[in-house]
């Protein structure tokens, strides 16, 4: 925990006396609160965590989550009422004149509470430092993500036996989520995408009652959480028989992904990794059909702040984790996407997901 806090302070462009992260109620939950404190269980609704430049953390916790709070190295200050929380916040911020806040995870209601607890305090947005610090994963984070990726990969390999022609997208998505939790996931990382036929040409399709028909592309984009950390994998199958056009799309996407993986290593930019996949797809008959970024950072959020995109200047470093997910989408026909999770290593990158990628028929 201390190393994570020190990393956040090292990313600041201007000094602050402390940083306050507060977790609200869904959907205003701040993943950075959980990253910095290291808590892996509990809701911690309306609980502030105060980070100090020496790595110390004060966690003002409801009594509901006191046990989970005390599993960390933080100094835990439990409260029962809002008035008790306000007093603990006031005493913890005593002497703080410059306070960092994460603008992506805080509401105006909490800004007013902070100003009431520390009159005259200068609030500074430290969102960029908080997000950048999460980008490089420590050994514990990578091991947890490896476990989440293992679970998602095993379910991906089982899809041909879990899904059949005539099944609805709703049913397929439910089966995938169920089997991930059976293998040890706490939850899905996001709403599972099961997209059949023409719907597979929409990258973020929401499952409905569409049924899988022979000749369809069947695209599944899903992941799970283990101790709050995410996996994210996509596999695309063909139903009943092999369609020549869809098979060609699959071959192009598989090659594009391989090229992006080969380009991923310390010192290259995110746009270079994207270009490795995009330029290949654009050299084929499917030019312009990659309509999203080649990947995104992954961690305690499934979209963890950065992308592998044409306009992304981020320089890759060891222990960053990204998805690699090129796709080809033809409206009225279908889409093919293949996605894996990869950690940047000293020499290149390592895939954390290892589900089979040869074209399979359901």
Distance of alpha carbon 132 from alpha carbon 8, whole angstroms: 8
**Overall residue count recorded for the chain in this entry:** 362
Torsion of CA 212, 215, 217, 223, to 10 degrees: 50
Q: Give the confidence band of 29 by pLDDT, cuts at 50, 70, 90.
A: confident
Answer whether residue 201 shows pLDDT above 80. Answer: yes
Q: Is the pLDDT of residue 27 over 90?
A: no
CA Rg value for the chain: 22
pLDDT tier for residue 1 given thresholds of 50, 70 and 90: confident
Distance, CA of 109 to chain centre? 27
Q: Under 8 Å CB-to-CB from 91, ≥6 apart: which residues?
A: none
Order of strands across the sheet with 349-351? 321-324, 340-344, 349-351
The yes-or-no answer to whether 2-135 and 139-351 have a common fold is no
Instruction: Quote the pLDDT of residue 249.
Output: 98
Q: How far, in Å, CA of 132 to CA of 274, rounded?
A: 20
Tens digit of pLDDT for each residue in 159-199? Answer: 999 999 999 999 999 999 999 999 999 999 999 999 999 99
Decide yes or no: CATH 3.40.50.300 for domain 139-351: no
Query: Which region, left, alpha or beta, applies to residue 184 given φ > 0 means left and ψ of -120 to 50 means alpha?
Result: left
Give the phi and the psi of residue 21 in degrees, each rounded to 5: -115, 130
pTM score = 0.94
Judge whether 313 and 301 are in contact, CB under 8 Å: no
What CA–CA distance (Å, rounded) separates 80 from 174? 38
- What pLDDT score does 346 carry? 96
Which pLDDT score is estimated for 28?
Answer: 77
Q: Give the pLDDT of residue 26.
A: 81
Output the pLDDT for position 184: 98
What contacts 24+ positions apart, CB below 8 Å, involve 12-16?
12/100, 12/126, 12/129, 13/128, 13/129, 14/124, 15/53, 15/98, 16/98, 16/99, 16/100, 16/124, 16/126
The DSSP string of 58-114 is: EEEEEGGGHHHHTTSSSEEEEESSHHHHHHHHHHHTTT--EEEE-GGG--HHHHHHH
Domain ranges of the chain: 2-135, 139-351
**Residue 127 — φ and ψ, nearest 5°?**
-55, -40
Q: CA of 10: how far to CAs of 14, 74, 137, 329, 354, in Å? A: 10, 20, 15, 42, 35
Residue with tokens 């139903």: 239
Q: Which fold has domain 2-135?
A: Creatine Amidinohydrolase; Chain A, domain 1 (3.40.350)
Are the C-beta atoms of 320 and 297 separated by less than 8 Å? yes
Per-residue pLDDT of 267-285, as tens digits, reads 999 999 999 999 999 999 9
């Amino acid at each position: 925990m201390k190393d994570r806090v020190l990393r956040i302070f090292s990313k600041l462009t201007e000094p602050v006396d402390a940083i306050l992260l507060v977790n609200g109620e869904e959907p205003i939950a701040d993943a950075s609160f959980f990253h910095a404190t290291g808590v892996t269980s509990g809701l911690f609704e309306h609980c502030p965590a105060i980070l100090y430049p020496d790595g110390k953390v004060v966690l003002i916790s409801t009594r509901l989550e006191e046990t989970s709070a005390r599993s960390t190295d933080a100094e835990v200050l439990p409260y029962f009422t809002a008035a008790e929380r306000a007093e603990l916040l006031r005493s913890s911020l005593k002497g703080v004149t410059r306070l960092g806040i994460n603008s992506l995870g805080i509401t105006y209601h909490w800004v007013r509470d902070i100003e009431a607890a520390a009159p005259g305090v200068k609030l500074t947005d430290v969102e960029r430092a908080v997000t950048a610090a999460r980008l490089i994963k420590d050994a514990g984070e990578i091991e947890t993500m490896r476990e989440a990726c293992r679970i998602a990969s095993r379910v991906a390999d089982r899809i041909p036996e879990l899904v059949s022609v005539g099944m609805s997208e709703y049913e397929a998505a439910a089966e995938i989520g169920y089997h991930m939790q059976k293998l040890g996931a706490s939850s899905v990382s996001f709403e599972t995408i099961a997209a059949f036929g023409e719907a597979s040409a929409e990258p973020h399709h929401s499952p409905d009652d569409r049924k899988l028909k022979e000749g369809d592309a069947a695209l599944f984009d899903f992941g799970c959480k283990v101790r709050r950390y995410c996996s994210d994998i996509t596999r695309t199958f063909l139903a009943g028989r092999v369609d020549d056009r869809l098979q060609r799309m699959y071959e192009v996407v598989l090659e594009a992904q391989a090229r992006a993986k080969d380009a991923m290593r310390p010192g290259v930019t995110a746009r270079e990794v994207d270009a490795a996949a995009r330029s290949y797809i654009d050299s084929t008959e499917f030019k312009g059909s990659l309509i999203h970024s080649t990947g995104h950072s992954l961690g305690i959020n499934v979209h963890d702040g950065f992308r592998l995109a044409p306009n992304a200047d981020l320089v890759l470093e060891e222990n960053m984790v990204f998805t690699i997910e090129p796709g080809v989408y033809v409206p009225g026909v279908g889409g093919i996407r293949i996605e894996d999770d990869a950690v940047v290593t000293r020499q290149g990158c390592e895939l954390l997901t290892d589900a089979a990628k040869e074209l399979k028929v359901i």
